Copies of this chain bind each other. A is one copy, B any other.
Amino acid sequence: MKYQNLDQAQSFKDLNKTTPVNIKEELTEERVKKYEIETGSSIKFNYAALPVNDIILKRLVGLGTEQALVEKFRLILSGETMNPGEGRKVLHHLTRMDPLTPVIFENNNIRNFYMEQQERINIFAGKIHSGQIKGSTDKKFDTVIQIGIGGSDLGPRAMYIALKEAVGKKAMMTADFISNVDPDDAASVLVKVNLESTLFILVSKSGTTQETLANRDLAIKWMKNKNPNLIPEKHMIAVTSATSPLANSDSFLDSFYIDDFIGGRYSSTSAVGGAVLTLAFGKEVFREFLEGAASSDKNALNKNINENAALMDALIGCYMRNILDYRVSAVLPYSQGMSRFPAHLQQLDMESNGKSVNRHGDSLDYQTGPVIFGEPGTNGQHSFYQLLHQGTDIIPLQFIGFKESQQDVDLEIDGTTNQTKLNANLTAQIIAFAKGSPNPDSNKNFNGSRPSSLLYGERLTPETLGALLSHFENKVMFQGFVWNINSFDQEGVQLGKKLTNQILSGESNDKALNLIAGKLGI
């Protein structure tokens, strides 16, 4: 397989010679029709308002071919060691689809291993839901609290919030999350639940995550304080790796396993998301979610780049990053259920592609992953959109929308429902950003030519949510391939951990550090 830096690619050199597109002039009905690809589960990616045209797209397709993007995805799906820094396979797709060839590691078929764990979760959840397993004071469990941080928190939490309204009254349990080592975080969750009917899920792949273990101990202390009859180990399960200190421990009702081939930020479809989402919503909802994810994965395998939504999204993103020098991208879901989806994408994208060396460790001469931020519209419109419309930097936008709301409660006012108003706002923004509006009062002038794309579908369901999740996972993966970086390690978080431990053990002799620590009461 050919691995080359982006600036070595001939098609990138050609792209540098293309004339940029002024979308203000070009956003026609024809483009809206033509520049659209279906990803998974009927979710469509419309890129009519992105600054490309047929010439640029042709060269981007050339770049995708030259960097062998689909082929590299196929290597992932064949169990190659695609995380070279850590010498690991990258297998999160196998939580929801079959590999291209059986992936065997230490005599284990990994696809089967992931399916077995989910099946074990399904059976366990069934026992919880039926009351066959109860709390230590004989109360039926009605609440589940996930204790985890980073990928063990952001993805599952974003998915839970998105599905909560979709599933509605059919939900089996209420879920909540504790992540931050800040004791205020744990307290604010623990204070509002009935601990007798609460099941905790401790999620840590290594079994040694400091924040997570500290929060577990805090939860146990709360239980003991609240009711001395509570037996904490009867209220806790673990999701961890089979070799971690948490595995097979008497401290848990049960343990479910993941492995080193799934990074935290890619773990929503593994047992990390599977346990909490299955407990909250039942196995059918989680199965639909996995099917949605698999449908986008399948689309991402399409060798025809013009029909491959994640790949097209990735390539245009690289064009905007490396040729147009846009450094930030905003994700703007017009759906309240997706309120924490941008926070998940922030980790997914920035932790995967915020790298300065290529997969061989050589320094890069071009920019990699952008900053990602976002809030749900229309809230964002009343907040930071001012800068997006009239600020001095151009920020490409990624809108997400649905025809229908998740709930059937809506109200017609002045002839339109709130959902119609929401989508009228979304449509208006795409046009306003692209086309602008001239005004002799320069303060009220809109230059336009501000790019955006739209991912849209009928309704936010478990299936469409899965499709969107996997679309972005694959987009980020493809961009990592374009940049020739390793999107699957995160060495950048290690130094902070090391220094933290030095401070806590009193080992640091850096005077500036010690003075700052002193200011913070250490």
Contacts and interface: CB of A to CB of B under 8 A. Distances in A.
A268 interface: no
Interface stretch (A235-243, A294-302, A511-519): A511-519
Given A346-B383, A519-B456, A183 B356 contact: no
A201 interface: no
Contact of A335 (B182, B213, B513): B182
Nearest to A447: B356
A150 B336 contact: no
Interface in A499-522: 499-500, 502-504, 510-517, 519-522
Contacts of A149: 378-379, 382
Determine the interface band of chain A, counting residues with CB < 8 A from chain B.
Answer: 35 or more
Given A385-B493, A420-B521, 16 more contacts: A28-B511, A32-B512, A154-B379, A180-B377, A180-B422, A185-B336, A350-B384, A351-B386, A354-B384, A354-B387, A355-B386, A357-B442, A424-B517, A428-B500, A444-B494, A446-B495
Contacts of A410: 183, 218
A376 interface: yes
A67 interface: no
A304 interface: no
A378 B181 contact: yes
Contacts of A484: none
Contact of A29 (B28, B435, B447, B511): B511
A124 interface: no
A381 B33 contact: no
A218 B364 CA distance: 54
B336 A180 contact: yes
A217 interface: yes
B418 A214 contact: yes
A486 B522 CA distance: 43
Interface in A318-376: 327-328, 334-337, 343, 346-347, 350-357, 361-364, 366-369, 371-373, 375-376
Interface in A97-152: 149-151
Which of A490, A492, A516 counts the most B-chain CB atoms under 10 A from its CB? A516
A34 B505 CA distance: 27
B393 A496 contact: no
A427 interface: yes
Contacts of A423: 517, 520-522
B424 A355 contact: no
Interface string A238-277: 0000000000000000000000000010000000000000
A421 B499 CA distance: 11
Interface in A374-417: 375-379, 381-393, 395, 401-407, 409-411, 413-417
Contacts of A403: 520-521
A181 B442 contact: no
A90 to B, nearest CB: 16
A54 interface: no
A182 B336 contact: yes
A150 B383 contact: yes
A312 interface: no
Contacts of A81: none
B183 A418 contact: yes
A176 interface: no
A491 B444 contact: yes
Given A373-B373, A492-B387, A407 B183 contact: yes
B421 A504 contact: yes
A10 interface: no
Contact of A391 (B356, B389, B442): B356
Given A149-B378, A347-B383, A406-B184, A354 B390 contact: yes
B46 A378 contact: no
A405 B85 contact: no
Given A188-B165, A383-B347, A429-B496, A393 B511 contact: no
A407 B180 CA distance: 14
A503 to B, nearest CB: 4
Given A336-B185, A422-B181, A392 B364 contact: yes
Given A149-B378, A401-B520, A504-B424, A443 B357 contact: yes
Given A182-B405, A421-B210, A442 B363 contact: yes
A21 interface: no
A379 B157 CA distance: 13
Given A29-B515, A500-B425, A368 B391 contact: yes
A519 B46 contact: yes
A377 B355 CA distance: 21
B355 A391 contact: yes
B32 A431 contact: no
A354 B424 contact: no
A314 B427 CA distance: 36
